Structures are given as structure tokens and as C-alpha cells.
Amino acid sequence: MEDKSYKEYLEQITTLIFDVDGVLTNGTITVTTAGDMLRTMNIKDGYALKTAVDKGFHVCIISGGTNEGVRLRLEGLGITDIFLGAHNKIEQLNQYLEKHQIDLKNVLFMGDDIPDFPVMKLVGLPCCPQDAVQEIKAISKYVSHKNGGTGAVRDIIEQVLKVQGKWMGNFNAKYD
């Protein structure tokens, strides 16, 4: 693996792929007496995801979780490629890349735990939240200063869009 700053990869990113639990959420699940499993997502992460979709980025979710409420939230942001119940994430990754003719070097993947490890070893820019497990931090080219569910997704999307001059549209005075 080349030893270069993660910032050198931001310009070539066309595709943003995220895990859900521990990345888009803080990794906790509230279980109701009816058996529903509730998760909390950060509204600023949602804004960044919607902005990325609107700016023409490929945005995909690959998660082992199966909560249909999560699917509804993400579809509401304009994300159409959502793989829930993914226990072999490489299979979903390959299917997605083939469908959209995407090169691995153009892919950013943010994960937080061992099930994300195989996919993260393949992509151009593996990233993780600050509270990811050590094995994931060790292979990440970027570790956000934010924890999962508290803006880590916004952090990395904002960086990609700013480097590519796509963050604030007509309001953008390119800055760091």
C-alpha cells in the first residue's frame, strides 16, 4: 500500500459507501417492549448524504442490519442502492461496482467493525469514525475526529466535496 496522505485520494472519489450501525448511528440499539429496534441518525450526516447524491456522487449503503426504518430514512435522502442484511459485504460491493462500472480506486468506504474489514482492504479510501475498533483504525487511511452517529459521515463527505469544489455550490469560496 502506498504511503500518502488521505487528502491525495479525495480528488478521485466518485463513490461513497457506508455501513450503518456504528457509522451512521452511534452503534446503540434501543429495544422496545414490542421488539422494535430503534436507532438514532445524525441530521448533519443526512444533509451531507443528500448533498452528495444531488451533486452526482454514487452513494451506497452496505450493512449487516435489516431495519426497514433505516431503509426508509436513506431512501428519503435519495439513496437508491441500499444493501441491508449483507453478511458478505464483498459480494454486495462487487455487484454494485459492476452495475455502475466503478473502479475500486474511486471508492471511499466508511466502516467501524470487523465485518467491514474485507471491503475496506479493497477500496481506494478506507475510512472510519473515531470510535471504530482498533483493527479497522489500523487499515483506515482516514480516521475521523467524530464518533459514529455524531457527524463522522458528514466530516468525510464534506472534505471530498470541498476538495472537488462541490460543497456549497454558488456559495462556495473554496476553502479548507
In this prediction, residue 170 carries a pLDDT of: 53
pTM value is 0.92
Residue 82 phi/psi, 5-degree rounding, is -125, 115
In this prediction, residue 169 carries a pLDDT of: 67
In this prediction, residue 171 carries a pLDDT of: 56
In this prediction, residue 1 carries a pLDDT of: 40
In this prediction, residue 150 carries a pLDDT of: 97
User: What whole-number distance in Å separates Cα of residue 3 and Cα of residue 134?
Assistant: 19
For the chain, list residues with pLDDT below 50: 1-2, 172-176
pLDDT of 139-171, one tens digit each?
Answer: 999 999 999 999 999 999 999 999 999 998 655
Residue 39: all three cell numbers together = 436507532
In this prediction, residue 168 carries a pLDDT of: 86
* Bridge partners for 120 per DSSP: none
Residue 143 DSSP label:
E
Residue 51: all three cell numbers together = 448533498
Question: Which domains are delineated in the chain?
Answer: 9-163 (3.40.50.1000)
